């Protein structure tokens, strides 16, 4: 079982990776290049801080039994940060091929590294439901964290460029809602699957008996509240009122962040990806 420090630092990794997916949902040629420079800069700093924080943990785990998985995770995370830096550099130039390849390589390394990271949080045979549930759960969390972050940052950009079309904002909003709904459904399904077919029954029993309040708080703050706020965001976009939508996106971001941080605490206490 990994500590809360390790699971919390995963939070930084997921924001950065999911943010790249969020950026991919926005029309590059319809928004100012400055938006991508500033947003990518924020995400890169988050990724670099996460890698710096995990470097000490990597050093401690490199001699463990799963040294191959840990070494692969280190390499992929390092390549993720390096290719992210290359993508940022490409935003100051006009080499579209370099930009596209660095972005694609960054997403590929990040996603593969996230799969290796998931392997370190459970103890189960390779041919088990955990092998599929954990990476998918981690990836959906990354999508949700990234889309809500990019949505909030894009909303602030509309306060600068007041004449911008609402289409990019609506696109990232829809991506955020889809990620939120899919993660909510997957959370319920994974509870059923792990309880009936997984090897994590003791963790599920401990979750419900010892950490029930923590789990319910995580669901309310990270799933229920953002779902309600997503409806309110849509109502403000119909008006349209981008300033109010941005404010609601900011509140939704706080709810998602709190929910995911509580989920990381649950992961550290029970080894369950909730």
Q: What DSSP line would sit under 226-243, residue for residue?
A: HHHHHHHHHHHHHTT-HH
Least confident of 98-107, 116-125, 134-143, 180-189: 116-125
Say if residues 2 and 268 touch (Cβ distance below 8 Å). Answer: yes
Q: Which tokens in the block code for residue 146?
A: 């990234």
pLDDT for position 42: 92
Within a 10 A sphere around the Cβ of 271, how many other Cβ atoms? 21
Which whole-number Å values give the CA distances from 143 to 19, 23, 138, in the listed order?
Answer: 7, 11, 9
The pTM for the full model equals 0.89
φ/ψ (deg, to 5) at 96: -70, -35
In angstroms and rounded to an integer, the radius of gyration of the C-alpha atoms of the chain is: 19
Query: Residue 71: pLDDT above 80?
Result: no
Query: Which stretch, 20-24, 31-35, 212-216, has highest mean pLDDT?
Result: 20-24
Query: Residue 176: pLDDT above 90?
Result: yes
Give the residue with greater pLDDT, 6 vs 226: 226
The per-residue b/e assignment along 14-30, b for 16 or more CB within 10 angstroms, e otherwise, is bbbbbbbbbbebbebee
**What is the number of domains present in the chain?**
1
Query: Residue 5: pLDDT above 80?
Result: no
Q: What is the DSSP letter of 162?
A: T
Q: Which tokens in the block code for residue 166?
A: 């609402």
CA 198, CA 209: separation in Å to the nearest integer? 19
Residues with Cβ within 8 Å of 154's Cβ and at least 6 positions away in sequence, in order, are 26, 31, 35, 39, 168, 169, 172
Q: What is the mean pLDDT of the chain?
A: 84
Q: Chain-centre distance of CA 41, in angstroms?
A: 16
Q: Which domain holds residue 151?
A: 4-270
- Range 189-208 average pLDDT: 68
Query: Residue 146: pLDDT above 70?
Result: yes
Instruction: Give 114-143 pLDDT, tens digit per residue.
Output: 888 877 776 665 566 777 888 899 999 999
pLDDT for position 246: 87
CA 66, CA 60: separation in Å to the nearest integer? 12
Where does 120-211 have alpha helices with state H?
130-160, 167-197, 201-210
């Amino acid at each position: 079982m990994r500590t809360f420090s390790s699971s919390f630092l995963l939070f930084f990794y997921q924001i950065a990776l999911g943010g790249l997916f969020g950026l991919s949902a926005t029309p590059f040629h319809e928004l100012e290049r400055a938006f991508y420079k500033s947003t990518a800069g924020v995400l890169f700093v988050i990724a670099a801080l996460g890698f710096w924080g995990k470097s000490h943990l990597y050093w401690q785990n490199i001699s463990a039994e799963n040294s191959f998985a840990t070494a692969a995770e280190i390499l992929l995370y390092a390549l993720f940060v390096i290719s992210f830096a290359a993508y940022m550099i490409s935003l100051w130039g006009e080499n579209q091929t370099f930009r596209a390849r660095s972005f694609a390589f960054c997403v590929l390394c990040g996603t593969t590294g996230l799969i290796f990271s998931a392997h370190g949080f459970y103890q189960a045979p390779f041919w088990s439901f955990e092998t599929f549930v954990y990476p998918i759960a981690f990836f959906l969390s990354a999508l949700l964290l990234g889309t809500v972050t990019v949505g909030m940052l894009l909303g602030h950009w509309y306060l600068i460029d007041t004449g911008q079309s609402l289409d990019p904002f609506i696109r990232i909003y829809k991506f955020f809602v889809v990620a939120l709904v899919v993660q909510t459904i997957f959370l319920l399904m994974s509870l059923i699957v792990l309880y009936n077919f997984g090897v994590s029954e003791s963790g599920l029993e401990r979750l419900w008996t010892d950490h029930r309040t923590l789990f319910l708080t995580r669901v309310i703050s990270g799933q229920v509240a953002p779902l309600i706020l997503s409806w309110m965001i849509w109502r403000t976009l119909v008006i349209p009122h981008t300033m109010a939508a941005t404010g609601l996106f900011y509140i939704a971001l706080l709810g998602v962040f709190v929910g995911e941080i509580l989920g990381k605490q649950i992961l550290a206490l029970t080894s369950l990806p909730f």
